[in-house]
Chains A and B, each alone.
Chain A
C-alpha cells in the first residue's frame, strides 16, 4: 500500500480498539446508495520507477527549446543551492506557521523576504506573497479601491501596455465586485504610455492608475511623470514592476514626488524556473499607511517571554480565518515555497549579482536587436528603450515565423497578434543573462532563413 504503513495485524488491532467489525463499518453513517462503485475508469497504481520513467519520457518530449520568449516568464539562471535548500523537508513539508514557536524557520524566512522586497522596491511594507503577478495585480486593484478615501469610484486606469493576460485575470477576479478597467492607449511610435494619453481622464474619478515598469512591450516608462499625474488627480499609484529590472531602475517608492502607493509584480525571475507557468509567486508591497488594507500574510518581529527575538504572523484581523466575510481577501495559503526559494536566490545573488543579471539581460537584448535588425525587413517597432524585452517588426506575420522557428527548436518570442489588433507583424522578444552569442546567432540565422 503506497505510503500507508499498517500491517494487517495492526489494522485488526485498531479496529478492535474502535470496536468496529471492519474498515467499511466506519462509513456506516454514509447512506449506502451514495457509496461509489469500483472507480473502474481509474488506472491501476504503478511503482515509482514506472511512473518516473513515463514522466521522464514526456518531459524530454517537450524538447527544451532555445528560449527567446518572455512575455511574463523569464529564463534566468537559478543557482543550484536555491532549490536544494528550498526542498529540504523542513521547508517543504511544513505548513502555515500557526504555531510560531515551532515555525521560526518559515517565519524568519518570510521576514527576511519582506525586508529584501522592501529594499528592492523602496517601500516600507511587504507581505509574504500572493499567487502570481496577475492575481497580485487584481488584489492590488481591490486594495486601492478600499484604500483610496478620496475616491468613490469602482474604476481604475490601466494602460493597454500592461500585460494583456494580467488585465484578463484582473477582469475575472474583480468584475464581480463591480470593478471596471479603463484602458489607456499607448503611443504606437514610442511603445510607451504618455501622460498626454491621460489628459482625457483629468478631473474624472478613478481609484488608481496602474504604472507598469517596464511595460508588456519591454519599454521603460516615464514613471515619475505618470506617478505625479495620478497623485494630482487623487488616484493611488499601483506600480507593476519586474523585480530584476529594479536592480537598475528607480524603485517605485521613489517615483515622482511621493512614490508609488502599492507595488506588485511577478516574482518568478527571482529563483523560480519557468516551469509551465508555476508555481511562481506574486510580491506585494505598500506604504506603511496602507498596511491594514494589505491582503495576505504579514510577519512581524516579536519578543518571547525571555526577551529573545522571534517572528510571528501579525495583523491577522485582516485575514479570512479571523475576519471571515469582512476580510481584505479570501487568500489563505500563498506561495510560501516559491517565496522561500526567492529569498535564498536574492541572498546568493546579493546587490552585485542581481545588478549584473539585470545589466547582462539588458545588454544582451541590445546585442540581439543588433543581430536581428541587421536582417532585411526587420526593425525595432518602438523607439523607447527596452529592459530585456523589445518588439520587432517583421516582413511576415509574426505567428507564422514563430511556428516555423518552433520546428527548429527555437522559441522566437510572443506574436502580439495573440493579444493586440493590427499588430500582426510584431514580435515580442526577450534576452536574459543566459543567452550566449552562439545562441543569438542561431536565432538570427534561423530567422533570416525563415524570412527569405
Chain B
C-alpha cells in the first residue's frame, strides 16, 4: 500500500504528453547508425499525460517539509529564506541560454556579475582572492586541502602527511583530507566547546600539513583561542583551513582572513540564501591568502585594463589545482548568490551575522527556561546551539530522535540530530535571521509540550510522528531488501 503512487503506476501503454514529443523522423534518417549498436525497443520511461505529470509532482512535492512551509532549524545547514527574486534573476532567458563555452563577446554580462561576486566575497571574508569554481561545500573543501598539498609540495615539504581535524567537525572534513591523500588526526574538544589547545600543541609537528576547522564550531560556539590555534599550526609549518559551514554566524562581524586562515570555502547555499533544493545544487567558492593564490581552482574571472572580462585559466595560473567540473561551476547558483549580495549590500551583510546570532541566543535562552539542557550553558550561542537530551534518555527512555519525530507533529522541522557526535542525544538548532519572533516562540511552545509528554507518556514519543503521510520507516529492513528501482508487477 502506498499513499502516493509512483509516476510509473500512472503509466498506461500508449498514453503520452503529446505536446512534448518532437516529430518522428523517418527510418532512413537513422539508417547510418550501425544496427548492432542500436537499442532494442524504447527506454521504459513512464507513459503519462502532461496534466498527470503536473498533478503527480505537485502532490509529491506537497509531502515535503520546506522553508516555504515550515520553520526548518537544521543546525549547520542555514535554512534561511531563499528570495524568489534570486530565482527570477538566475532564470532570465539570457542567462539560461548562455553556453558555457560561448566566446567572450557573448559572456560579458555574465562575467561582470561573477567578477563582482568574486570581489564581494573577497571583501566580506578578508581573503586575497576568490575562485567560484567548486560546485558544493565538499568540493570547496577538496580544493582547499588540495591547495595546501600543492603549497607544501612546491616548497619541497614532502613529509607533511597529516591533516588535523577537531572531533566535532563535519564528516566531509576527514573524508576530504583522505581524498587529498592525507591521513587524519582528530583533535579533542574541551568541556567548554573550544578545541583542547594542549592536545593540539601535542598533535602538531613536522608531519602536519594543516588544520581544518569551522568557526564558530559545530558545537555552536565561537572558538575563542583561534589566534593561538592559528599560531600553533603556523609555527609548526602547517596551514589553516576554514570550513565556511557556519560563516552565517559571523558574516560582517569577523572575517576568516583576519583570524589567520590561509584558505576558506563558503557555502553559498547556506550563507548567501541559495536554495537547498532537496539536496543541492550548492556552490562552494574558495577564498585564499596571498601565498595560495597561484593554486586556486580554475577558471576565475579576470578583468583587463580596458574593462572587459575574460576567463583566467591554467595558462595564466599554471600552478592551479585545475578544473573541478566540465565547465565553471554551478553558474545558476552563483547568480542567485550574486542577487542576494547585491540586495543586502554592506549593511545587510553585517545584519546577517547580528540577527542570526540574536535569534539563536533568544531561542536558546527560551528553551532553557522551559526545561531544555544546553550542552554549553555558560557560552554565548553563535548562530546555532546544542541541546542535549541525555537527561530525558536516562530518566524517561526518550531519545533525541523521539523528540525530533514528535516535533514533526507540531509542524516543526526537526533540528540536526546526533551531530556533533561528542555530545550525547543532541540537537543542533539553527534558527537563522529570517524567522519571526512568533515562529521562534511557537517552536519553544512545541518543545515545552514535548518535554511534558516525555515525562507523562514516553511511548507517545516513541511512536511519533502521527500526522505525516507515513509513520517511522524500517530502515534496517530497507537496507536488507535494497529495492532501489521500481519493477512493475509481474516484471522479472
Tell whether B362 is near chain A: CB-to-CB under 8 Å: yes
Q: Are B468 and A101 in contact (CB under 8 A)?
A: yes
Q: Are B277 and A92 in contact (CB under 8 A)?
A: yes
Q: Are A411 and B273 in contact (CB under 8 A)?
A: no
Q: Are A314 and B479 in contact (CB under 8 A)?
A: yes
Tell whether B83 is near chain A: CB-to-CB under 8 Å: yes
Q: Are A332 and B67 in contact (CB under 8 A)?
A: no
> A337: which of B54, B277, B354 is its contact (CB, 8 Å)?
B277
Q: Are B101 and A3 in contact (CB under 8 A)?
A: no
Tell whether A344 is near chain B: CB-to-CB under 8 Å: yes
Task: Select from chain A the residue with minimum beta-carbon distance to B139.
Answer: A131
CA distance A128 to B280 in the complex (A): 11
CA distance A101 to B333 in the complex (A): 28
CA distance A321 to B169 in the complex (A): 10
Tell whether A41 is near chain B: CB-to-CB under 8 Å: yes
How many chain-A residues does the 8 Å CB contact rule pick out? 201
Tell whether A183 is near chain B: CB-to-CB under 8 Å: no
CA distance A4 to B77 in the complex (A): 18
Tell whether B199 is near chain A: CB-to-CB under 8 Å: no
Q: Are A46 and B113 in contact (CB under 8 A)?
A: no
Q: Are A4 and B351 in contact (CB under 8 A)?
A: yes
Tell whether A303 is near chain B: CB-to-CB under 8 Å: yes
Chain A to chain B contacts (Cβ below 8 Å), 29 pairs:
A36-B258, A47-B343, A51-B89, A58-B109, A62-B97, A65-B99, A72-B326, A73-B99, A73-B326, A88-B57, A94-B276, A97-B279, A111-B484, A112-B6, A120-B43, A135-B325, A169-B324, A220-B34, A249-B37, A274-B96, A300-B482, A304-B473, A308-B1, A315-B482, A320-B171, A331-B136, A334-B281, A347-B48, A406-B105
> A173: which of B92, B255, B324, B404 is its contact (CB, 8 Å)?
B324
> A403: which of B25, B103, B463 is its contact (CB, 8 Å)?
B103
Pick the 9 closest A-B CB pairs, nearest first. Answer: A277-B327, A45-B345, A89-B68, A59-B94, A337-B277, A277-B100, A58-B109, A276-B331, A336-B279
Tell whether A166 is near chain B: CB-to-CB under 8 Å: yes
Task: Select from chain A the residue with minimum beta-carbon distance to B416.
Answer: A98
For B139, the chain A residues whose CB sits under 8 A away are 131, 135
CB neighbors of A among B28-69 (8 A): 29-30, 32-34, 36-40, 42-48, 50, 53-54, 56-58, 60-69
Q: Are B80 and A3 in contact (CB under 8 A)?
A: yes
Contact A277-B329, Cβ < 8 Å, known A314-B479, A334-B280: yes
CB neighbors of A among B332-375 (8 A): 332-333, 335, 338-339, 342-351, 354-355, 357-359, 361-362, 365-366
For B227, the chain A residues whose CB sits under 8 A away are 31, 34
Task: Select from chain B the residue with minimum beta-carbon distance to A367.
Answer: B29
Contact A62-B94, Cβ < 8 Å, known A330-B176, A340-B278: yes
Tell whether A449 is near chain B: CB-to-CB under 8 Å: no
CB distance from A395 to the nearest CB of B (A): 21
For B170, the chain A residues whose CB sits under 8 A away are 320-321, 332
CA distance A124 to B252 in the complex (A): 49
Tell whether A152 is near chain B: CB-to-CB under 8 Å: no
Task: Select from chain A the residue with minimum beta-carbon distance to B96.
Answer: A273
Tell whether A114 is near chain B: CB-to-CB under 8 Å: yes
CA distance A357 to B38 in the complex (A): 15
Q: Are B65 and A51 in contact (CB under 8 A)?
A: no
CB distance from A387 to the nearest CB of B (A): 8
CB distance from B171 to the nearest CB of A (A): 4
Contact A64-B61, Cβ < 8 Å, known A43-B346, A222-B37, A325-B178: no
For B90, the chain A residues whose CB sits under 8 A away are 275
CB neighbors of A among B403-417 (8 A): 404-405, 408, 413-414, 416-417
CB distance from A242 to the nearest CB of B (A): 13
Tell whether A105 is near chain B: CB-to-CB under 8 Å: yes
CB distance from B265 to the nearest CB of A (A): 12
CA distance A83 to B87 in the complex (A): 11
Task: Select from chain B the residue with minimum beta-carbon distance to A220.
Answer: B37
Among the 9-residue stretches B14-22, B286-294, B450-458, the one with 4 or more Cβ atoms under 8 Å from chain A is B14-22
Q: Are B327 and A165 in contact (CB under 8 A)?
A: yes
Tell whether A232 is near chain B: CB-to-CB under 8 Å: no
Tell whether A312 is near chain B: CB-to-CB under 8 Å: yes
